[in-house]
Amino acid sequence: MARAARSDGRLTALISRLDGPRDPVLPRRQVLDAIGRAGLDRAVADGTLTRVLPGWYGLAAHADDHQVRCAAVVRWSRGALAITGRSALHLLDSRFPAPQRVEARSERHGHVRAPAWLRVRYGESVRWRITVGGVTCLVSDDAVLDAWCIAAPADRETVFYTALWLRAVSPRQLRRAADRRAKVADRRSLVRLLDEFDDGATSPTEVLARRRVFVGHEFAELEAQVSIRAAGRTRIADLLHRRARLVIELDGSAYHDGPEQVARDRARDAELLAAGYATVRFGFRELMRDPDRCRTLLRAAISSRLGRT
């Protein structure tokens, strides 16, 4: 009985350690030191522990957690791999969706025998790395660039818009990161997106709206970044339908909806209305998730302002 109690106590201590922020995975040697071979066999058999990667164990309940897997990859590889792409962006900001597979980078020659849930990108060396929650990652601009390269072509613009919206990187930082690389997947498309900001775009939401949402002949009259005089000052409309005297405002970043910003937006809308301009607003999330509804709403607003039925 005393031996069983000691064994249970040792397992409890190990579980507590694995459940903490520092050591979500441990090498087999340390697990054996903590609970012995028989204890490890029992813990695996009853579903308490599991092998996350060869020679590395963690709690079975957390084995599919993206951050746990990222930590396991870095430790298992002995530093040969660093987390990059969408995985790194998720660790830096949990609002960035985690990919289905952990995305890591290797600067060494030769391929890693990786499990199905790990994707390794091999490429030229990058200068800077950071540690997030004990996990070695590429810095955000290189991580965004890798995310672009790793993503399926149809998903690359979503990666681009989301990273900029969450302020993981600025257009200037991303352009510099691309300029440092000899190879960038579909560099031409990335440069075209970045050029939008050199041509006057002020937010990824604006670029998204103009390139992917409000497109086609029915929105051909929309003008970008238009100066309007209202209440004795100059206001800049993200988009303007001049004939309908309709201003379209596009919330520029994930940090746009604080109480002070909301108050400023209301004052701005009132000033524009007094000058004869109605305002409709669209946020990044709704443009991404339901572009058809956004188009329908704007189409109806334009028709209403023009006196159509």
* Whether pTM exceeds 0.75: yes
The reply to whether 210 and 225 lie within a common domain is yes
Number of domains into which the chain is organized? 3
The reply to whether 54 and 105 lie within a common domain is no
- The pLDDT, as a whole number, for residue 231 is 87
Beta bridge partners of 240: 223, 247
CA distance 256 to 258: 6
- The pLDDT, as a whole number, for residue 309 is 44
- The pLDDT, as a whole number, for residue 256 is 55
Report residue 80: phi and psi, to 5°: -70, -25
The reply to whether 129 and 102 lie within a common domain is yes
- The pLDDT, as a whole number, for residue 192 is 96
Q: What is the DSSP string of 93-115?
A: -TTSPPPSSEEEEE-SSS-----
The parts of the chain modelled with pLDDT lower than 50 are 1-5, 309
The reply to whether 11 and 122 lie within a common domain is no
Q: What is the domain range of residue 31?
A: 2-62
- The pLDDT, as a whole number, for residue 4 is 46
Is there a domain that residue 295 lies in? yes
Q: Which two structure tokens, joined as six digits, stand for 295?
A: 């188009």
Is there a domain that residue 196 lies in? no
The reply to whether 162 and 179 lie within a common domain is yes
- The pLDDT, as a whole number, for residue 255 is 57
Residues whose CB is less than 8 angstroms from the CB of residue 111 and which lie 6 or more positions away in sequence, other chains included: 120, 122
The reply to whether 24 and 106 lie within a common domain is no
CA distances from 169 to 58, 149, 176, 203 (A): 33, 16, 11, 12
List, as own/partner pairs, every contact residues 236-241 make where C-beta atoms lie below 8 angstroms and the sequence separation is at least 24, other chains included.
237/277, 238/202, 238/203, 238/206, 238/209, 239/206, 239/209, 239/210, 239/214, 240/277, 241/302, 241/305
CA distance 281 to 90: 28
Residues in the chain: 309
- The pLDDT, as a whole number, for residue 156 is 97
Please measure the distance between the N-terminal and C-terminal CA atoms of the chain and give it in whole angstroms.
83
